[in-house]
Amino acid sequence: MSNLIVHGGKPLRGRITPSANKNAVLPVLCATLLTDEPLRLHGVPDITDVRKILEIFRALGSKVHMDQATGTLELHHCETVFDAARHRLPEEMRSSIMLVPPLLARFGVARLEDNVKGCTLGVREIDPHVEVFRRFGGEVERVDGSLLVRSAGLLTPTDHWLDYASVTTTENFVLCAAAAGGTSTLTNAASEPHVQEFCRFMAMIGARIEGIGTSRLTVHGGNTLHGGEFTFDEDFHEITTFLALGAITGGDVVVRNSAPGNFPLIDRTFAKFGVQITHEDGWSRATCAGPLKVQTPFTSNVLTKVEAAPWPYFPVDLLPIFIALGVRAQGNAMFWNKVYDGALGWTGELSKFGAHVFSSDPHRLITFGGNPLTPAVVESPYIIRVAIALFMVAASIDGRSEIRNAAPIRRAHPRFVENLRSLGVQVEWTSED
């Protein structure tokens, strides 16, 4: 178990250049298997999930060269082979399921372990992915605790309408459609910034995609996909995280941000807690004119709300970050997770700091902020942004706190502790058996 020790109470100050978004990097890495030409990727973060995928690439015979110092990754899948009897895709990582379409396209078979999963955000179905594989002509069966997916030949194009706008299912559809021999259309597609970035990579290697950034994607498959060079954008989750860390500690943190066009709703959500965000010359900054304070709605008898749902709603992944702000801000606010059942179960840990929160139901939470808080030892579930939210609260309190089981942070944020130290935080990792 990896724990974070923080001595809080100091304002954070400085500049941060965020890493790339793992939710863009991982599907792009999976997509590289669709071509046997060389690829060079810039800005690849040194995180746990990336290492796992690169390990499977090496096991399959791909040429992999990663320069950790520059974040440059060179891949060449010209000698890649896959044997479903002996090769296993990475376990305990949700993105493994996106290796299925390229393996189907190149080798006609893929094997997926039953315990493929990501953060413990509630039930995350595999059935929508199985449905997509079958729509493109794949045959799916359960064999010895695994799912075996086969294709007798070229994937067949299809039109499909998702039950809900799932990010990973959308990406799997695009991967299948790019390998299929014709035109496929997806309705109710996810449109998050990382989905758009993934689609831009697919277009760079030769896929023809219409409707990027909308809820309807049309993919013209059958083209031979080629190699190329691609640079990842900064992770909007990490940008928001460091802006929030500056705000909650009363500091001044400036964060590199080359895509401020993704931030209007995030900026307005910050404003609900008295935080103003400015974007200038590729950098973003959070400022507060005094202590954090929940803004009062003009509608009487209504709480200030943060409603999280699939993009272009406020991102669900960022909800814990703003719950941390709500705990610290004077006033009351409601937080509504419209996607995952039970994803707010961790909030009882906030009471260990002395925070007052009330769970209305599995999807809604009310914070009664502004109470005096004290340092504490808290336990994080296996959810990246929850570990960070607990850290945020601890960093705003004078004294020593400990975030136990904080390892999920390493799945998304390389150099997290190093970046925090550069901002003036006294923080360290500790490990125990």
User: Which ranges of 188-289 does DSSP label H, i.e. alpha helix?
Assistant: 193-204, 236-248, 264-271
Q: Which of 381, 379, 339 is nearest to 164 (CA)?
A: 339
Give the C-alpha separation, 131 to 133, whole Å.
6
CB 88 within 8 A of CB 60: no
CB neighbour list of residue 360: distance below 8 Å, 6 or more residues apart: 334, 366
Q: Is the peptide bond before 312 cis (omega within 30 degrees of 0)?
A: yes
Predicted local confidence at residue 237, as pLDDT:
96
Grouping H, G, I as helix, E, B as strand and the rest as coil, residue 21 is coil
Give the C-alpha separation, 106 to 116, whole Å.
22
Quickly count: other Cβ atoms within 10 Å of residue 340's Cβ.
19
Where does 173-330 show beta strands of DSSP type E? Answer: 183-187, 208-210, 216-220, 228-231, 252-256, 275-280, 283-288, 304-308
Q: Which two structure tokens, joined as six digits, stand for 94?
A: 């949700």
Q: Which of 43, 45, 38, 65 is nearest to 412 (CA)?
A: 45
Partners of residue 149 on adjacent β-strands:
110, 140
Which helix (H) or strand (E) segment holds residue 419: the answer is: helix 416-422
* Residue written as token pair 């290796």: 99
183-198 exposure pattern, b = at least 16 Cβ within 10 A, e = fewer: bbbbebbbbbbbbbbb
Grouping H, G, I as helix, E, B as strand and the rest as coil, residue 143 is strand
Where does 2-120 show beta strands of DSSP type E? Answer: 2-8, 13-16, 39-42, 63-67, 72-76, 109-113
Q: Which of 64, 106, 65 is nearest to 83 (CA)?
A: 106
Averaged pLDDT in 10-residue chunks for the chain of 433 residues? 93 96 96 98 94 94 96 97 86 85 95 62 73 96 88 94 96 98 97 98 98 98 95 97 97 97 98 98 95 94 96 97 98 96 92 96 96 97 95 97 93 89 95 70
Domains of the chain: 3-19+234-430 (3.65.10.10), 22-231 (3.65.10.10)
Predicted local confidence at residue 115, as pLDDT:
54
CB 40 within 8 A of CB 71: no
Give the C-alpha separation, 7 to 17, whole Å.
23
The string of DSSP letters for 125-174 reads -SHHHHHHHHHTT-EEEEETTEEEEE-SSSPPP-EEE-SS--HHHHHHHH
CB 21 within 8 A of CB 420: no
Give the C-alpha separation, 178 to 175, whole Å.
5
Grouping H, G, I as helix, E, B as strand and the rest as coil, residue 71 is coil
210-214 — which CB contacts under 8 Å span 24+ positions? 214/189
Distance (Å) of CA 157 to CA 12, 132, 176, 215: 52, 11, 8, 19
Judged on CB neighbours under 10 Å (0-12, 13-18, 19+), 153 is: exposed
Q: Which of 93, 128, 121, 97 is nearest to 110 (CA)?
A: 97
DSSP 351: G
Give the C-alpha separation, 154 to 30, whole Å.
19
Amino acid at 63: K
DSSP 330: B
State the angle between helix axes of 127-135 and 167-179 in degrees (0 to 180), rounded to the nearest 10.
20
350-383 exposure pattern, b = at least 16 Cβ within 10 A, e = fewer: bebbebebeeeeebbbbbbbbeebebbebbbbbb
Grouping H, G, I as helix, E, B as strand and the rest as coil, residue 399 is strand
DSSP 407: G
